[in-house]
Chain A
């Protein structure tokens, strides 16, 4: 990309598609602007006032013209709408196939990044090419927005909830990470780099950082440290429900509703256990952990609880599986 390019680097499967749509919009936009400018200049010159006494005849309008210039732009806009919506749904719906899950916590004014295998980084994100990466976003404080211009993607980071989006990197290199939602004094310093690597270099990088505990292991430690384990006995029903095979499955609540135990549910059940009580259990048994555990710890606990449902596969098998089916979604 030259210094005068109007496009940032394209480094994800999405980038080219967004640029194509943007190109279409540019063509339509420039065409429309040229049309209006042409007629404004043409009429202004052709019908300029030649004598102060001119009294042009009134023209009150034309229904066919009004219909034409309402309907044609509307049809063009329908194309923009349909194309933009399709791409948006595609870009914001994580693929079902095996994703690499990465957890990002925004905090005034840094990005903390955790990998399932336990690597942790600040303001640096490493991802392999050719494999869908699902990013789960959490905030310790205010709104942030995780913006990857080279991937043409961003998503707000909203305190009190998890937001997710996904991408598949295509081109090795180092690209900007920006915070795009104003978050206070050093908003403009809440920046970092995403390093895209080919799968082999990525595995090398991963193993160089290995040796610590994985997120699930860290979560298990927290689970013991906070005494969760004394009530949530794993393989039998105690004072509290067992958490074995809970994640991703329906949970029946005492008020008769059934909810799916996803990240948001687990998070809420830790911070504010009385919000949803599992059928057959009592209110006020579990202490409220609001303000006790930071967002990174919560993510570790969630990954741990996830691991109680999905026995983790070996990482190498995952990469091979993903490499085998690289069809675009």
Chain B
């Protein structure tokens, strides 16, 4: 067992939540756990703002002619995308669960740069204020991709405000990534070797590499876009001497790796949950850990698969197609290893595990439909249709949001010291799963039938599938509201949780009391057993023995 000093009865010892109450103690905190909660509340707010736009979109698409003016619909999908991608998905797991858990998982008292961590939250909020201002003042209609020259020359909405929001929030992402990289390198507890790191930490490490190396490129792209829009510098608009395809290269050089920023931390969460609720060491630990890094590295080399119909050289397309297939290998490795982890395990069906089942299933579908898009001749037909929408929602919502909800439930006792109502939680997980599939599965069919994305009005023959999708979205919306209610209730009224309600492994579960104290561990912990040592082995066993 790993060791921490045993403590006298812990009820009275202050934890990070009740140590101080004033607003200053929250807004000026440098405690990674409080900052994680600041992020948690902010991104939840953004999630519901982005979700409200989705409600508007699905309402509009109930009828072929649409309920709203075309401009209104165009703004709805643009703001849904901008809010969900830059203000929910990118920060979601890293800034909340990652912030809360990376330090205790490696056995550290805090992140390497606690004040920079707080700064990153403020930067995120400033970026968010720009985005919200753009919305309140009338919105943006460029699509979240900001393709030039429409965004730089033609749109007469609040492109600059929204772009500044994205630009600013990017720095928050860079700082979080930087903090994680330094923490993982320099602040691991004695005995916490790289091969004992929780896979959650490996996933965050890989994510951080992308954040630090990729985000500056989107920042530069946005600056160039601003220069063209405000100063009419000819960069992307051919009428000014620019090249519109250059924008797409720059944009996707960040934004494709960014989808791995969004999914890798989710994969980390699933690794923790599957191991815990199977009571098994992760099957193929090294492969799962290395596959995160492989995804991060290869993820930088596939951006051109967004340009198969854009007029990019066919030979360039061929190379990008090939590397896109390569990325699928480490993703498949993860899915197979999670499944194999359950083999001869002791599998329980607690709520986090239900979300993990959902993740594995939906991510499999999302990943496999990615192969359809990497196959160039098929991509020519389905790109820019609902097929693409369905594909990335299977990965981002079916995958990432499932993992996020699974993680929130898994670590809820750790974060709040309370237990949530298990019956409601299982019910909500089921509602989310059903609602999700009903919303997005019909969109694969719509896409192959040829319904283009970003259409405020559509041909009559697409209506049935759109109505199904809207019906599913209403179920999904309810599925997201239920956990909001019972988790808020449980935070205040739920029964007190024991220190380690799941019998989970990992240094974070050895923090005492629960919720943890401000500085995590009174004495630096020592990791003296293998990772995921559910069977109580003395030391690491090489694979294959």
> Which A residues form the contact surface with B (CB < 8 A)?
3, 6-8, 17-18, 21-22, 25, 28-29, 32-33, 36-37, 39-40, 43-44, 47-50, 54-66, 69-70, 73-74, 77-78, 80-81, 83-89, 91-93, 108, 141-143, 145, 147, 149-150, 152-156, 158-161, 163, 176, 178-189, 191, 290-291
Q: Enumerate the 8 nearest inter-chain pairs by beta-carbon distance, A residue then B residue, closest first.
A: A160-B238, A149-B450, A84-B375, A87-B377, A61-B284, A88-B376, A43-B342, A54-B346
- Choose from A25, A47, A92 the contact partner of B372 (Cβ within 8 Å): A25
CA gap between A166 and B389 in the complex, in Å: 27
Q: Is the CB of B337 within 8 A of A155?
A: no
Q: Which of B286, B450, B534 lies in contact with A178, CB distance below 8 A?
A: B450
> Which chain A positions have C-beta within 8 A of B343?
43, 47, 59
**Complex interface: chain B residues within 8 A of A60 (CB):** 281, 283-285, 541-545
Q: Is the CB of B448 within 8 A of A55?
A: no
**B436-467, CB < 8 A from A:** 445, 448-450, 452-459, 461, 464
Contact for B279 among A55, A88, A176, A191, CB less than 8 A: A55
Q: How far is the CB of A10 from chain B (nearest CB, A)?
A: 11
Interface stretch (choices B3-11, B315-323, B407-415): B315-323
Task: Please tell me which one of the listed residues A29, A81, A86, A184 contacts residue B325 in the complex, with CB atoms under 8 A apart.
Answer: A81
Q: Which chain B positions have C-beta within 8 A of A143?
A: 147, 149-150, 244
Q: How far is the CA of A188 from the CA of B153 in the complex (A)?
A: 20
Interface residues of B in 188-246 (CB under 8 A from A): 237-239, 242-245
For residue B300, CB closer than 8 A to chain A, the reply is no
- Cα A149 to Cα B382 in complex, Å, equals 9
27 interchain pairs, CB-CB under 8 A: A29-B371, A36-B335, A36-B364, A47-B342, A47-B346, A58-B533, A58-B537, A60-B281, A60-B541, A61-B544, A66-B543, A69-B333, A80-B374, A84-B374, A84-B377, A84-B378, A108-B154, A149-B449, A158-B244, A158-B310, A159-B244, A160-B238, A160-B242, A182-B143, A182-B453, A182-B454, A185-B141
- Tell me whether A59 and B454 are in contact (CB under 8 A): no
A322 to B32, CA, bound (A): 72
Q: Tell me which residues from 62 to 120 in chain B have a Cβ below 8 Å from any Cβ of chain A.
A: 66, 70-71, 74
Are B332 and A59 within 8 A (Cβ)?
A: no
Q: Are A158 and B239 in contact (CB under 8 A)?
A: no
Q: Write the nearest CB–CB distance from A192 to chain B, whole angstroms.
A: 12
Known: A18-B381, A182-B150. 4 other contacts (CB 8 A): A47-B346, A65-B336, A143-B244, A159-B244
| Contact partners of B22 in chain A: CB under 8 A | none
Contact A161 B380, beta carbon cutoff 8 Å? no
In angstroms, Cα B477 to Cα A328, docked, is 50
User: Which residue of chain B has the shortest Cβ distance to A37 in the bound complex?
Assistant: B361
Q: Is B17 an interface residue (CB 8 A)?
A: no
Q: B384 contacts A145, CB within 8 Å? A: yes
In the assembled complex, the Cα of A185 lies from the Cα of B71 at a distance in Å of 5
Q: Say whether A69 contacts B238, CB under 8 Å.
A: no
Contact status B244-A40, CB under 8 Å:
no
A162, chain B: closest CB distance, angstroms? 9
Contacts of A70 in B (CB 8 A): 329, 332-333
Q: Which residue of B lies closest to A22 (CB)?
A: B378
The interface residues of chain A lying within 8 Å CB-to-CB of B537 are 58
Q: Would you give the shortest CB distance from A158 to chain B, in whole angstroms?
A: 5
Contacts of A40 in B (CB 8 A): 339, 342, 357, 360-361
- Name the interface residues of B342-367: CB closer than 8 Å to any CB of A: 342-349, 357, 360-361, 364-365
B449 & A47 in contact (Cβ 8 Å cutoff): no
Give B281-299 as 1s and 0s: 1 = Cβ < 8 Å from A's Cβ atoms: 1011111000000000000
Interface check B481, CB cutoff 8 A: no
Interface residues of B in 237-288 (CB under 8 A from A): 237-239, 242-245, 278-281, 283-287
Q: Are B280 and A58 in contact (CB under 8 A)?
A: yes
Chain A residues within 8 Å of B18, by CB: none
Inter-chain contact A29/B309, CB cutoff 8 Å: no
Tally of contacts, chain A with chain B, CB under 8 A: 297
Given contacts A47-B346, A88-B380, A180-B385, contact A33 B244 (CB under 8 A): no
Cβ of B345: which chain A residues have Cβ within 8 Å of it?
43, 47, 56
Q: Which residues of B contact A84 (CB under 8 A)?
A: 321, 374-379
A63 touches B378 (CB 8 A): no
Cα of A85 to Cα of B315 in the assembled complex, Å = 10
Q: Does the CB pair A182–B147 fall under 8 Å? A: yes
Q: Does residue B126 face the partner (Cβ distance < 8 Å to A)?
A: no
By a CB distance below 8 angstroms, the chain A residues around B365 are 29, 33
Query: How far is it, in angstroms, between the C-alpha of A160 and the C-alpha of B149 when the chains are bound?
Result: 11
CA–CA, A89 and B309, complex, Å: 12
* In contact, A61 and B452 (Cβ under 8 angstroms): no
The winner among B360, B375, B534 for most chain A CB atoms within 10 A is B375
A85 contact set on B, CB distance < 8 A:
318, 321, 376-377
The CB with the most chain A CB atoms within 10 A, among B242, B348, B378, is that of B378
Contacts of A21 in B (CB 8 A): 375, 377-378
Distance of A250 from chain B, by nearest CB (Å): 21
Q: How far is the CB of A271 from chain B (nearest CB, A)?
A: 9
Question: In whole angstroms, how far apart are the Cα atoms of A42 and B321 in the complex?
Answer: 34
- Among A89, A142, A147, point to the contact of B452 (Cβ < 8 A): A147
Inter-subunit contact B311/A58 (CB<8 Å): no
Interface residues in B145-175 (C-beta closer than 8 Å to A):
147, 149-150, 153-155
Q: Is B457's CB under 8 angstroms from A154's CB?
A: no
B501-545: which residues lie under 8 A (CB-CB) from chain A? Answer: 533-537, 541-545
Among residues of A, the one whose C-beta sits closest to the C-beta of B65 is A188
Interface membership of B328, Cβ < 8 A: yes
Instruction: Check B311–A163 contact: CB distance below 8 A.
Output: yes
Interface residue from A58, A65, A88, A184 paired with B340 (Cβ < 8 Å): A65
A181 to B115, CA, bound (A): 43
Residues from chain B with Cβ under 8 Å of A6 in the complex:
445, 448-449
What residues on A are CB-neighbors of B534 within 8 Å?
55-56, 58
* Cβ–Cβ < 8 Å partners of B287 in chain A: 61, 66
Complex Cα spacing A47 to B283, Å: 15
Q: Is the CB of A88 within 8 A of B377?
A: yes
Bound complex: CA A92 to CA B309 (Å): 9
Q: In the bound complex, do residue B361 and residue A77 qualify as a contact, i.e. CB atoms below 8 Å apart?
A: no
Q: With A29-B368, A145-B309 as given contacts, are A44 and B279 in contact (CB-CB < 8 Å)? A: no
By the criterion CB–CB under 8 Å, are A180 and B452 in contact? yes
- Please report the C-alpha to C-alpha distance between residue A142 and residue B314 in the assembled complex, in whole angstroms: 22
Contact A55 to B536, CB < 8 A, known contacts A61-B543, A63-B544 = yes
Write out the residue numbers on chain B whose beta carbons fall within 8 Å of the beta carbon of A57: 344, 535
- Structural contact, B450 and A176, CB atoms closer than 8 A: yes
Q: Which residues of A contact B336 (CB under 8 A)?
A: 65, 69
Asked if residues A153 and B381 are in contact (CB atoms below 8 Å), the reply is yes
Q: How many Å lie between the Cα of A8 and that of B446 in the bound state?
A: 10
Contact B70 A189 (CB under 8 A): yes
B369 on the A face (CB < 8 A): yes
Q: In the complex, how many angstroms separate the beta carbon of B256 from the nearest chain A beta carbon? A: 18
